[in-house]
Chains A and B, each alone.
Chain A
Amino acid sequence: MTQGIKISLKKDVKDVGVEECAIDTRYSSPKIVSNDSVITGRSGISNPVYSGYNLGSVEYTFPDNPSAGTYTLVTFKHGLGQTPNPIAYVYNYQFPTFRILPMDINFAYDPLQYMYCYATPTEFKIDYVRGNNILFPSPVDVTGYHYKFKFYIFANEGG
């Protein structure tokens, strides 16, 4: 017999499948593991300001006249020992709502479309790739653009 805990949603727990449970410990749920305990270092081209470690949020303002290249907007070592699953939302002060990174690729001149949130076995990063070739049309001047990021880092449940 499998041991564990099962809690149903407003119904007799004997009668429901996993879909109607608050928890069913036969299954794993995505665990958010980003918090201050895993942030061990940070860097950025203009010192991104962290605003609430425990919620995993970061603000970033572009410097004057950024040139072509890859800009790391957010980075830290997660210390999890394997590659986790990152998801980031971005708040654009020019268009004040939250959207998942990356943005729509049809908006060729929106710098958001070239921001990437990713994880490696050791680090979590949000990069912005700025260029001027066919993949990266002549970008708008992002001087002073200000973004706020919220990121979720989920433990890898596989493997």
Chain B
Amino acid sequence: MIVNPPQTLNDGDTANFNVTVQGGSPTSYLWTFEVPSGAGNNPNVPFTSPNSAMTSARAHWFAYPNQPCAPSQNPNTYWNSKYKIKIKVTFNNGRETTKDTSLTVNSYWDPAGYVAPPTISGGPAYGFDPQRNLWVITKQGSMQRAASPRVINVPSTSQFFNKTDRHEQKHEEQYATGILSDLFTVSSLFSVLSTVTGTSEQDLINNVNQATINWYNQQNTGLQGRLPAAEREAYNISDPIAPHYVYQNCGRF
């Protein structure tokens, strides 16, 4: 009797199992699983056809040890929960044979999701000021605040998708209307660029380029100082969403 080899999948992926019987006439199959005693987060391998030679199941991560945050010691063991998969085959002569394999379910995405800070697309209009004999910025032109959409690396089939998605959605809100909304704005950048001048067209363009880079640096420095508060606020939204494991604040922020 040959059963498929051990497999490692991400939470939410589909695991396939099969057993091949050599000799004898099977009359029934039974797929079951075992987990360590005390495992949390409702361990389950929901076999689609538990009484067939071939079956599948959605990979479901369980918590072992049963705690919300990965332990410092051997965190990989926590992120990779390991099911013992058993197939019992009964033959027409009444004989029973059991074989084992395993399913390891990984729950760690690094990062689970993110929202990049907004950027300013387009650029300001410019021209020559004959009174000052300088090239100057004349108006905002096509400058626009370009918000970055959230990126979720956790697949939608994973049990951790909803909490990750809600967490990153909060970050989007923070940049749009919340505690980070005053950063990376057109008005802030334009207030800097409107004073930039150049002795030639190329000189102005170079100076605007440099002023923009410096401005992004200042904005990023301001952002760094506020990130812990922004993360706390987002975790306050996502931590209460089940499952209460892995992607919790865990006192980091």
Partners in one complex: no
* Interface, chain B (partner A; CB < 8 A): none
